[in-house]
């Protein structure tokens, strides 16, 4: 028992107060700095780790303070498919899967968002759509914490695809595909063939 007590005293003596090192507590004064504060303000122009993209066109949707007209990332089929997936998760509950603004929670009483197919939103710059996803607008909350930057641009690309799908004309169809559509339309518009032969 005496050995245990001596060992305990030895261990306590070896701590050398490492658990209570000299340091400033939060908001404690300091005689070292001229302003008397121990907490130092960040250096002017400092950017938090991981936040560099928040100052770029890609991270803000703005260039020289104005919304960018075009999507500043490569728009590929994979980008649009990723955008569709993210749109259906985060946006469709309000905007519905076509972007008309009649989602499930709107049908249950939530204020309806505008349709993406109005002339105003079809002509809105891509950066403005990105900004609304990032910062929210009116009843819409911001999604910056839930949706990473590249996924926000993917959603914008998918919104553009939705807008085109609901407002496309025959001139938007590639020529080879247009011929197929014309042939199909001709078939549908043709009068039904006369029955041949006798009665069934």
For residue range 72-110, what is the model confidence (pLDDT) as tens digits? 999 999 999 999 999 999 999 999 999 999 999 999 988
Query: Is pLDDT above 90 for 31?
Result: no
> Which of 21-35, 36-50, 79-93 has the highest average model confidence (pLDDT)?
79-93
pLDDT for res 139:
87
pTM of the entire structure?
Answer: 0.65
pLDDT for res 21:
75
pLDDT for res 40:
85
Structural domains of the chain sorted by starting position, each given as residue range(s) with its CATH number in brackets: 52-176 (1.10.760.10)
Which residues touch 178 (CB under 8 Å, ≥6 apart)?
170
Provide mean pLDDT across the span 26-49. Answer: 84
- pLDDT band per the 50, 70, 90 thresholds, residue 44: confident
In terms of Cβ atoms closer than 10 Å to its own Cβ (0-12, 13-18, 19+), residue 19 is exposed
Quote the distance between the C-alpha of residue 17 and its chain's center: 49
Query: Is pLDDT above 60 for 200?
Result: no
C-beta separation of 134 from 153 below 8 A? no
- pLDDT band per the 50, 70, 90 thresholds, residue 6: low
pLDDT for res 181:
81
Share of the chain above pLDDT 90, in %: 44
Q: In whole angstroms, what is the distance from residue 4 CA to residue 10 CA?
A: 10
């Amino acid at each position: 028992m005496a050995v245990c007590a001596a060992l305990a005293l030895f261990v306590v003596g070896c701590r050398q107060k490492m658990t209570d090192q000299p340091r400033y507590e939060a908001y404690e004064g300091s005689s070292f700095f001229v302003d008397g504060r121990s907490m130092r303000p960040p250096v002017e122009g400092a950017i938090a780790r991981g936040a560099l993209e928040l100052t770029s066109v890609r991270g803000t949707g703005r260039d020289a303070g104005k919304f960018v007209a075009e999507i500043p990332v490569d728009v590929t089929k994979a980008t649009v498919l990723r955008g569709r997936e993210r749109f259906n998760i985060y946006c469709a509950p309000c905007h519905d899967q076509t972007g008309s603004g009649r989602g499930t929670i709107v049908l249950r009483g939530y204020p309806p968002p505008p349709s993406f197919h109005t002339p105003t939103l079809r002509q809105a710059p891509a950066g403005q759509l990105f900004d609304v996803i990032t910062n929210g607008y009116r009843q819409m909350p911001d999604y910056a914490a839930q949706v990473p930057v590249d996924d926000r641009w993917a959603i914008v690309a998918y919104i553009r695809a939705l807008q085109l799908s609901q407002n496309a004309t025959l001139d938007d169809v590639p020529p080879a595909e247009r011929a197929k559509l014309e042939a199909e339309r001709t078939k549908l518009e043709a009068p039904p063939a006369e029955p041949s032969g006798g009665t069934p």
